[in-house]
């Protein structure tokens, strides 16, 4: 059996590219003889070895149907990683799915984000589109039960949609050596916010949390490990300027570490390894899983997150770590308790360990393999 993954891929700075890379490594671990190829967007790097190749051949800004069709001819199963910003809302992806069905290919589509129409500027466009592509695929994968519920409301049969958690990369980077590598303070409690700087991630809330935590834990720091995304909007640039202004206004210059740059995959284990707590005070209505959340869990770090659908999986570790969006004091008090209450911290760490093992990429790849062989 040969699987064709239609996705962005390395070295693109894209969460879907990273996701696909981890999934493929997991699949190669659980099934070394499985043949796979990535039918990738043109910014990926070509690669070939036994039973695996990467073929960059399509562009999201052009008609990608024929390039993808021609490069999936040798596969029995075609697995598409869907994200709105990659495929947009026109007829190309539905036409691609129709063509694959006509050529007797079995199709699986992972829908990473589901947006209810009441939270979309486009009204029903998002729902109608996701319904259309889900109907055309043979199998649909989502990461959250809430996503499946929306698809069921749209008329997608329950048995067609499979909830498979976002995978977790297990890492065990030592705190001391990680801090030395990244030139971070050797001592002190480091709270981490990771990823591209965007308003919905609420880095400003993290700064306000630091101000409150610092009143009780004097050696507290906030490490914002990220910068503006490629092609950042004017809105994102304005938000970045606001963060710098807020750091000064709150008198936090000595306790905020903000290099404002993109971190490579090689650096990620050390970023999380260096931290004591990871904050996700996001404010967003999208129904989607969070890759950075699973990176934090994979590094066995306590997570404090907004009580929103994106982080509903955190209840599998400890529901007390979910805080109402923008509840700065609630986030700060939870962080302080993790820093000062050894029993509570150990409880969280033990349950984090259990969940990270249950969602390791090897486990998640095994679930995918079952679907590949099933179809």
For residue range 265-300, list pLDDT tens digits in order: 889 999 999 999 999 999 988 889 999 999 999 999
| 8 A C-beta contact, residue 115 and residue 285 | yes
User: In this structure, what token pair is assigned to residue 324?
Assistant: 């109402």
- How confident is residue 119, by pLDDT bands cut at 50, 70 and 90? confident
3-state secondary structure of 307: coil
- How confident is residue 375, by pLDDT bands cut at 50, 70 and 90? low
pLDDT at res. 320: 98
Q: What is the pLDDT of residues 333-373, one digit of tens each?
A: 999 999 999 999 999 999 999 999 999 999 999 999 999 99
The DSSP-derived string for 200-256 is GG-HHHHHHHHHHHHTT-TTEEEEEE--PPTT--HHHHHHHHHHHHHHHHTT-TTTE
124 pLDDT more than 90: no
Q: What contacts 6, CB < 8 A, 6 or more positions away? A: 39, 68, 72, 78, 79, 80, 81
Q: Which phi and psi (to 5°) does residue 95 adopt?
A: -65, -40
> What order do you get walking across the sheet with 303-306 strand by strand?
256-257, 220-225, 189-194, 277-280, 303-306, 322-323
Q: What contacts 370, CB < 8 A, 6 or more positions away? A: none
Token match 């996705």: residue? 7
Q: In Å, how far from its chain's centre is CA 258?
A: 21
Closest CA to 270 of 242, 301, 241: 301
In CATH terms, the fold of domain 2-167+361-374 is: Rossmann fold (3.40.50)
Provide the mean pLDDT of the chain. 95
89 pLDDT more than 90: yes
Record the pTM: 0.88
Question: Averaged over 119-143, what is the pLDDT?
Answer: 92
- How confident is residue 374, by pLDDT bands cut at 50, 70 and 90? confident
CA 347, CA 329: separation in Å to the nearest integer?
22
Closest CA to 187 of 274, 257, 258: 274
- 113-122, 183-192, 242-251: the lowest-pLDDT one: 113-122
CA 207, CA 224: separation in Å to the nearest integer?
10
Class of domain 175-358: alpha beta
CA 207, CA 198: separation in Å to the nearest integer?
14
In the chain, % of residues over pLDDT 90 = 91
pLDDT at res. 157: 97
Q: Which residues of 118-146 are buried (b: 16+ CB within 10 A; e: fewer)?
A: eeeeeeeebbebbbebbbbbbbbbbbbeb
User: In this structure, what token pair is assigned to residue 295?
Assistant: 């990176």
DSSP 45: P
123 pLDDT more than 80: no
- Within a 10 A sphere around the Cβ of 173, how many other Cβ atoms? 17
Question: Averaged over 220-243, what is the pLDDT?
Answer: 93
Packing angle of the helix pair 125-136, 92-102 (nearest 10 deg): 10
| 8 A C-beta contact, residue 273 and residue 171 | yes
- How confident is residue 106, by pLDDT bands cut at 50, 70 and 90? very high
User: In this structure, what token pair is assigned to residue 294?
Assistant: 């699973």
- Within a 10 A sphere around the Cβ of 48, how many other Cβ atoms? 9
Q: What is the pLDDT of residues 316-343, one digit of tens each?
A: 999 999 999 889 999 999 999 999 999 9
Total length of the chain: 375
| 8 A C-beta contact, residue 170 and residue 360 | yes
pLDDT at res. 286: 82
- Within a 10 A sphere around the Cβ of 181, how many other Cβ atoms? 16
CA 207, CA 212: separation in Å to the nearest integer?
9
DSSP 43: T
pLDDT at res. 221: 98
Q: Where are the beta strands (DSSP E) in the chain?
A: 2-7, 35-41, 47-49, 52-58, 77-82, 106-111, 113-114, 139-142, 161-163, 189-194, 220-225, 256-257, 277-280, 287-288, 303-306, 322-323
pLDDT at res. 262: 85
In which residue ranges of the chain is CATH 3.40.50.2000 found?
A: 2-167+361-374, 175-358
42 pLDDT more than 80: yes
């Amino acid at each position: 059996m040969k699987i064709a993954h239609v996705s962005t891929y390395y070295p693109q700075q894209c969460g879907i590219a990273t996701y696909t890379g981890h999934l493929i490594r997991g699949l190669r671990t659980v099934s070394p003889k499985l043949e796979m190829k990535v039918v990738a967007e043109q910014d990926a790097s070509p690669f070939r070895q036994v039973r695996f190749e990467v073929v960059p051949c399509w562009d999201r800004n052009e008609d990608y149907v024929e390039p993808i069709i021609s490069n999936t001819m040798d596969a029995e199963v075609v697995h598409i990683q869907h994200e709105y910003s990659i495929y947009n809302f026109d007829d190309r992806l539905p036409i691609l799915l129709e063509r694959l069905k006509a050529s007797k290919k079995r199709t699986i589509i992972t829908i990473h984000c589901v947006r209810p129409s009441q939270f979309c500027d486009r009204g029903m466009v998002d729902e109608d589109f996701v319904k259309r592509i889900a109907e055309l695929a043979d199998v649909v994968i989502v990461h959250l039960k809430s996503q499946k519920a929306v698809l069921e409301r749209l008329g997608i049969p329950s048995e067609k949609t499979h909830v498979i958690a976002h995978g977790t990369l297990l890492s065990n980077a030592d705190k001391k050596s990680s801090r030395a590598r990244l030139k971070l303070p050797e001592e002190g409690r480091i709270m981490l916010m990771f990823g591209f700087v965007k308003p919905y991630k609420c880095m400003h809330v993290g700064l306000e949390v630091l101000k409150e935590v610092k009143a009780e834990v004097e050696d507290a720091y906030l490490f914002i490990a990220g910068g503006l995304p490629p092609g950042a909007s004017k809105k994102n640039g304005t938000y970045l300027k606001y963060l710098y202004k807020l750091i000064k206004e709150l008198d936090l210059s000595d306790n905020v570490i903000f290099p404002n740059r993109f971190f490579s995959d090689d650096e990620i284990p050390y970023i999380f390894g260096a931290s004591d707590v990871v904050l996700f005070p996001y404010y967003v209505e999208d129904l989607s899983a969070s890759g950075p959340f699973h990176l934090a869990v994979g590094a066995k770090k306590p997570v404090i997150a907004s009580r929103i659908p994106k982080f509903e999986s955190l209840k599998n570790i400890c529901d007390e770590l979910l805080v109402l969006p923008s509840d700065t004091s609630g986030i700060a008090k939870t962080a302080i308790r993790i820093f000062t209450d050894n029993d509570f911290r150990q409880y969280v760490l033990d349950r984090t360990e259990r969940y990270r093992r249950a969602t390791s990429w090897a486990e998640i790849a095994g679930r995918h393999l079952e679907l590949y062989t099933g179809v």
